[in-house]
Chain A
């Protein structure tokens, strides 16, 4: 049963990701990305990481993608018809090539190296309490650094957006 759900979600996620790149309409593309995030969140939930799953929905699908959609709608992007310059084709090819090399390396590593044995998760794994405890004890320094980084970003955004401070 779980296997079925896993394959369903995984295939849907792959399909959404592929379609997102292929579709021409920017809004549809954004919606497909949201669908992809949904599937990802489902996969997290199946791994027992409920908090991550919900945060994926709440933050990425719920907030950030609304912002993206917002910008697309405001700019009202239309399909552009035109010739792709040689320059661009070269860039795209280079991009695909680099990505392919990366994937090949990862695949090779996966094949040769021994994967760690999967461990059964404890009952409290992925709950809010467990994640919070780890976050505020073992990883308190990275957590605080990340928060300061975000604060700096917020202040920067305010200064950029405001003509007069």
Chain B
């Protein structure tokens, strides 16, 4: 086995550009998610909901009188959560109580691995593909990971030795299970249209503005966004944490950093959902009516390598701007709609979205047969 490892080590120099590329991509996505989105979305949520409701929003935390539009509340939140007592209720299952927040947050982080945040570029002779893992199964990976994140909530509910938490956990289980089925089916139409599960293929196919998923799959889009909202467990579908009924649902018994992790998981899931929506329905990194070649030509005066870099920067920026737009919309929906009742959620999932998704598949198939 020793020489096998030695052989692997010997290949490092030739693999070096790929390794650098990989590390750079992972670091970029990680800082984007953990460094930018996780802390800032709390602020965005507070301010946005405040303005929607004719309020000002949190703005009291200040350093020497500088409040920075309430941005410092993020800092004070962090300090508060770090210094808070980590409470574990009596009779709780301690190891599982510790494990649950991690199970919740890790899938939310790794789901972004298959979402392309840019196209393919040739930089100094090295082909770069701006997605961490360009898997053939693509979007199925996101589903698989999302289904794993269910365990975080379910176990949290079970391990807390609290009836509210248990009920919350059971509701999470039921809701996730129902909507995963529907979510998978809603996207079948997208796979059929683009003929691939690979997210980069789907992204490339959307170079033509009128081939964006939203135009080819309008019904699929509406169904998918409903399912995605349900998977995110935020307000119209927040029956697992329903404050009015279940205190805080599955994370009732969590405090301090462990609570923060559930909080973060929710926000990261939102980023992931926005990423998937953009990648599948809103052209990914593409700018409407601007082709890749056109952009390269536009930056041609920079020389071939730097032109590619410029195009890359533009594409990545476009992608994140789209994601931000979607986060804004998701927050709007979250602060506009009232919560569904439990039976309504189940009915919507099984009796409306599932049949409609099947209908969507049939229509897509029929149209494709007619066109081709």
B335 at the interface (CB under 8 A from A): no
Q: Mark A61-75, 1 if CB is under 8 A from B, else 0.
A: 111001101100110
A127 at the interface (CB under 8 A from B): yes
Among B93, B135, B136, B147, contact of A27 (Cβ-Cβ < 8 Å): B93
How distant is the Cα of A67 from the Cα of B154 in the complex, in angstroms?
11
**Which B residues lie within 8 Å of A55 (CB)?**
140
How distant is the Cα of A27 from the Cα of B176 in the complex, in angstroms?
19
A28 at the interface (CB under 8 A from B): yes
**Which A residues lie within 8 Å of B181 (CB)?**
63
Among B137, B146, B180, max chain A CB count under 10 A is at B137
How far is the CB of A46 from the nearest CB of chain B, in Å? 14
How far is the CB of A59 from the nearest CB of chain B, in Å? 9
**Which A residues lie within 8 Å of B197 (CB)?**
128
How distant is the Cα of A6 from the Cα of B108 in the complex, in angstroms?
26
Task: Flag if B140 contacts A58 (CB, 8 Å).
Answer: yes
Among B5, B143, B166, B176, contact of A58 (Cβ-Cβ < 8 Å): B143
B155 at the interface (CB under 8 A from A): yes
B206 at the interface (CB under 8 A from A): no
Task: Flag if A69 contacts B173 (CB, 8 Å).
Answer: yes
Among A54, A69, A127, contact of B141 (Cβ-Cβ < 8 Å): A54
Task: Flag if B1 contacts A62 (CB, 8 Å).
Answer: no
Chain A residues numbered 38-91 whose CB sits less than 8 Å from any CB in chain B: 50-51, 54-55, 57-58, 61-63, 66-67, 69-70, 73-74
Number of interface residues of A (CB under 8 A): 25
B4 at the interface (CB under 8 A from A): yes
Task: Flag if B144 contacts A66 (CB, 8 Å).
Answer: no
B39 at the interface (CB under 8 A from A): no
How far is the CB of B271 from the nearest CB of chain A, in Å? 21
How distant is the Cα of A96 from the Cα of B289 in the complex, in angstroms?
68
Q: Mark B149-170, 1 if CB is under 8 A from A, else 0.
A: 0110011011000000010011
Q: Mark B257-280, 1 if CB is under 8 A from A, else 0.
A: 000000000000000000000000
B295 at the interface (CB under 8 A from A): no
A19 at the interface (CB under 8 A from B): no
Task: Flag if A74 contacts B150 (CB, 8 Å).
Answer: no
Task: Flag if B140 contacts A66 (CB, 8 Å).
Answer: no
Task: Flag if B158 contacts A73 (CB, 8 Å).
Answer: yes
B96 at the interface (CB under 8 A from A): yes
Among B8, B141, B145, B147, contact of A66 (Cβ-Cβ < 8 Å): B147
**Which A residues lie within 8 Å of B8 (CB)?**
1
A155 at the interface (CB under 8 A from B): no
A12 at the interface (CB under 8 A from B): no
A34 at the interface (CB under 8 A from B): yes
What are 26 A-B residue pairs whose CB atoms fall within 8 Å in the complex? A1-B8, A3-B1, A27-B155, A27-B158, A31-B96, A34-B151, A50-B136, A51-B137, A55-B140, A57-B145, A57-B147, A58-B140, A58-B144, A61-B144, A62-B146, A63-B147, A63-B181, A66-B154, A66-B176, A66-B177, A67-B173, A70-B174, A73-B154, A73-B158, A73-B170, A74-B170
Question: Besides A73-B166, A73-B173, 5 other CB < 8 A contacts?
Answer: A1-B8, A63-B177, A70-B174, A73-B170, A128-B136
The 8 closest A-B pairs by CB, nearest first: A62-B147, A57-B144, A58-B144, A70-B173, A54-B137, A1-B8, A127-B136, A54-B140
Q: What is the interface of chain A, defined by CB distance below 8 A to chain B?
A: 1, 3-4, 25, 27-28, 31, 34, 50-51, 54-55, 57-58, 61-63, 66-67, 69-70, 73-74, 127-128
